[in-house]
């Protein structure tokens, strides 16, 4: 499969988890691994003429510290013991921009869910959110890289181009891992269908049955189109799609979703399901853009 994987590190524990996962993924694919670490000068640093020597000294010290941090991260992640070609890249500037630039020619971008700069309690940091919105390739968001080793990949399917791209990515990944692909089609009544007494119980039952039939039909279409060399399982679930996917992936190695589903506005870069999955899944979530 080969190719290039880019991963961003910042010295945080979850960044180290992302690096470990990226190393393992690069080994699976026989791919190169580009490891990006950025640093910047504090914005309130004096820049007057009389302070230029001190500014240059600070810049040199911060650059040297960044090199030490990156070397330490690679050491702690066990990069030396991996048979992976590694390209370290240290950039002065904004972290999100540095990582996105480093992923311009990548096949996969890997980021931790939160870094050093994330607000305590936030489920996604600003850097990971920026990468999800703007990366030109699939993005893997790592919450925990070793929470499951069940050779199981969960993927959402709703018939949209994004979901189709996610299925193709999941099938290719399953071949590498020898994993089973578990396809989830979720359905729920349109918002407000039963509100205000406009729809009686019988109509709601009929509507839910029709939606269930549609979900089962989509599941059958996926099974029929799946490659012969990948084992497929599946289920149609009643409930919010994001929640259904996260729950189904609780014991999975990966959760794979499209960037936008059938319900997403065309102007949105990310749909609500992909945002929910990236924020709340317990392990690794891969968001795949449609064509």
221-279 pLDDT, tens digit per residue, is 999 999 999 999 999 999 999 999 999 999 899 999 998 655 544 434 567 899 999 99
Distance, in Å, from the CA atom of 135 to the CA atom of 102, rounded to the nearest integer, reads 10
Q: What angle do CA 227, 231, 233 make, to 5 degrees?
A: 110
**CATH number of the domain that residue 189 is part of:** 3.40.50.620
Write the pLDDT tens digit of every residue in 61-81: 888 889 999 999 999 888 877
Residue 53: the pLDDT is 65
Cross-sheet strand order for the sheet of 284-288: 86-92, 32-39, 4-8, 108-112, 139-142, 284-288, 254-258, 152-156, 180-187, 232-238
The confidence score (pLDDT) of residue 48 equals 52
Separation between Cα atoms, residue 258 and residue 138, nearest integer Å: 9
Say whether both 138 and 214 belong to one domain.
Answer: no
Does 259 map to a domain? yes
Predicted pLDDT of residue 63: 82
What is residue 147's predicted lDDT score, i.e. its pLDDT?
A: 52
pLDDT (0 to 100) of residue 60: 78
Q: What is the mean pLDDT of residues 145-173?
A: 87
Give yes or no: residues 133 and 169 share one domain: no
Q: Please, which pLDDT band fits residue 142 given cuts at 50, 70 and 90?
A: very high
Is residue 124 within 8 Å of 279, Cβ to Cβ? yes
88 and 214 belong to one structural domain: no
Listed residues 108, 142, 176: the one ending a domain? 142
Looking at the structure, tell me whether residues 100 and 125 fall in a common domain: yes
* Domain end marker among 89, 117, 142: 142
pLDDT, tens only, 18-42: 999 999 999 999 999 999 999 887 7
The predicted structure's pLDDT at residue 132: 94
Residue where a domain terminates, one of 142, 165, 190: 142
Place of tokens 């029709």: 210
Q: Is 100 within the bounds of a domain?
A: yes
Q: Does residue 4 surpass a pLDDT of 50?
A: yes
pLDDT score of 291 more than 60? yes
Q: Average pLDDT, stretch 118-124? A: 52
Residue 119 reports pLDDT greater than 50: no
Question: What total of structural domains would you count in the chain?
Answer: 2
Q: Identify the pLDDT of residue 7.
A: 97
Residue with more model confidence, 266 or 206: 206
The boundaries of the domain holding residue 120 are 4-142
Angle of helix 52-76 versus helix 13-29 axis, rounded to 10: 60
Same domain, 194 and 110: no
147 lies in some domain: no
Asked if residue 246 and residue 130 are part of one domain, the reply reads: no
- Bin 22: left if φ > 0, else alpha if -120 < ψ < 50, else beta: alpha
Confidence of residue 130 (pLDDT cuts 50, 70, 90): very high
Q: Are residues 111 and 189 in the same domain?
A: no
Residue at 96 is within a domain: yes
The pLDDT value given to residue 44: 54
133 and 168: one domain? no
Q: Do the domain assignments include residue 66?
A: yes
């Amino acid at each position: 499969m080969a190719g290039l994987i880019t991963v961003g590190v910042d010295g945080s524990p979850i960044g180290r988890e992302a690096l470990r996962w990226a190393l393992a993924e690069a080994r699976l694919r026989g791919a190169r691994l580009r490891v990006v670490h950025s640093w910047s000068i504090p914005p309130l640093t004096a820049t007057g003429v009389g302070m230029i020597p001190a500014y240059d000294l600070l810049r040199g010290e911060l650059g040297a510290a960044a090199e030490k941090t990156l070397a330490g991260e690679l050491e702690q992640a066990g990069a030396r013991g991996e048979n992976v070609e590694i390209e370290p890249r240290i950039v002065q500037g904004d972290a999100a921009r540095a990582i996105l630039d480093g992923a311009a020619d990548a096949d996969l971008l890997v980021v931790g869910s939160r870094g050093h700069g994330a607000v305590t309690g936030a489920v996604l940091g600003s850097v990971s959110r920026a990468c999800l919105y703007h990366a030109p390739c699939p993005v893997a968001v790592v919450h925990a890289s070793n929470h499951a080793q069940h050779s199981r990949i969960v993927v959402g399917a709703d018939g949209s181009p994004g979901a189709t791209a996610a299925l193709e990515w999941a099938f290719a990944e399953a071949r590498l891992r020898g994993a089973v692909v578990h396809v989830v089609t979720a359905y729920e009544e349109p918002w407000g269908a039963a509100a205000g007494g406009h729809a009686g119980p019988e109509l709601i039952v009929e509507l839910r049955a029709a939606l269930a039939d549609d979900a089962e039909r989509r599941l059958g279409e996926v099974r029929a189109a799946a490659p012969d060399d990948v084992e497929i399982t599946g289920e149609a679930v009643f409930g919010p799609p994001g929640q259904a996917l996260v729950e189904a992936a609780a014991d999975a190695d990966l959760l794979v979703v499209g960037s936008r589903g059938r319900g997403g506005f065309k102007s949105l870069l990310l749909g609500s399901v992909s945002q929910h999955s990236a924020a709340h899944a317990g392990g690794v979530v891969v968001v795949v853009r449609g064509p």
